[in-house]
Copies of this chain bind each other. A is one copy, B any other.
Amino acid sequence: MSNQKEYNVAIVGATGAVGQKMLEMLDLVGFPIKELTPLASKRSAGQTIDFRGEKVVIKEAKPEAFEGIEIALFSAGGSISKELAHEAVKRGAVVIDNTSAFRMDPDVPLVVPEVNKEDIQKHKGIIANPNCSTIQMVAALEPIRGKFGLNRVIVSTYQSVSGSGNAAVEELKDQSRAMLDGKEAEANILPVKSEEKHFPIAFNALPQIDVFEENGYTFEEMKMINETKKIMHTPELQVAATCVRLPFFYSHAESVYVEVNEGNVSVEDLQNVLREAPGIVLEDDIENQVYPTPLSAENKTDVFVGRIRKDLDVPNGFHLWIVSDNLLKGASYNSVQIAQAIAENNK
């Protein structure tokens, strides 16, 4: 370790739900850091965060803050990334961006290391971290695609409120308390802060994540559809998504239907492939009621898969239940894995 190169790392959005987890994950994997620079809005500048037992002062996220930075992890919203990512690149940083700002840009690799680590090499300064619900799905589907081929995916999601940030976590808590006390629940954030109408998420389900597109799909649904094809390099893959926000704090779950290309594939075949797959934990033993849930996946960096079963009508059709912590593998941990891959490439 002593000869290993150490990096000047910036975290943009260090006070946010994902930013906080990025600090944890950098520490967890023992990422070689020379100096850490937490960046946030002017409002948070001057406050401190704890990192590896030391207090580090938060600076304002502005172009000059990237002088000397080698790796910049962005997670402060798309508009901040659009404003500052190129400024960071201009100053010599490699940007790992966790917003949707550059994901579909043909010049920007969109990377889940277990799936397409090699795409990192093609970067021109920016590497995009995919959408949380996309990451866990492609991590579980790529091993299946690699072995048996894949021609169709239909997913319905069960997504936690932390995907909308810390304020949404607080909103769920406040609304839950109010409703349990028989009071009216106040809704100001979900389903989408910028939208006109807000609905309670406590003891409810909202079939809207992000704004609606012209085609009737939400932006979240289109992210899952388009990003999946880009990451797996399968433009012809049929992908459909319905995204639903639910009253739990962490982890997203997904009910996924897939059709593989090969015939004569069994549930055991899929289980065997997933058992060996990197970053995947098979939790599929119905006789003992073993299957993943949002609570059981919380605070873990893996993607958990269970309830694998054959479609009763379509011979090459299968159903799966995929769960992962949306702030870890779905965001911060995947970003840190990309940083690790960059460090490895530099060795």
Contact = CB atoms under 8 A, between A and B. Distances in A.
A242 interface: yes
A145 to B, nearest CB: 16
Contact of A203 (B156, B295, B321): B295
Interface string A226-269: 00000000000011101010111100010101000000000100
A242 B289 CA distance: 15
Interface string A279-309: 0000000111101011110000000001111
Contact of A240 (B240, B295, B312): B312
A225 interface: yes
Given A199-B295, A216-B286, A240 B319 contact: yes
B216 A246 contact: no
Interface string A79-110: 00000000000000000000000000000000
Interface stretch (A16-24, A39-47, A64-72, A207-215): A207-215
A125 interface: no
Contacts of A308: 216
Interface string A330-346: 00000000000000000
B267 A216 contact: yes
A57 interface: no
19 contacts: A156-B255, A196-B289, A199-B293, A199-B296, A203-B248, A204-B294, A205-B248, A206-B293, A207-B291, A215-B309, A215-B310, A216-B267, A216-B310, A217-B309, A225-B312, A240-B257, A240-B319, A242-B255, A242-B307
